[in-house]
Copies of this chain bind each other. A is one copy, B any other.
Amino acid sequence: MVSKAFKPVPASEIPDEISGLRMTRQRQHIYRILLQHRDHPTANDVFMRIKDTLPNLSLATVYTCLDAMVKHGIIRQVNFDRGPSRFCPNLAEHGHFHDVTTGIIHDVQFRPGIHLADVLDLPPGAIIKNVEFTLRGQLS
Interface residues of A (CB under 8 A from B): 77, 79, 81-82, 85, 95, 97, 100, 106, 108-111, 114, 116-117, 119-140
Contacts and interface: CB of A to CB of B under 8 A. Distances in A.
- How many monomers of this protein are in the complex? 2
Nearest to A119: B114
A139 B132 CA distance: 18
A123 B111 contact: no
Nearest to A106: B123
A111 B100 contact: no
Contact of A82 (B85, B95, B123): B85
Nearest to A134: B132
Chain A to chain B: the 8 pairs with minimum beta-carbon distance, closest first: A133-B133, A130-B136, A128-B137, A129-B137, A125-B140, A114-B119, A125-B139, A127-B137
A136 to B, nearest CB: 4
Contacts of A97: 122-123, 126, 128
B79 A81 contact: yes
A42 to B, nearest CB: 12
B122 A140 contact: no
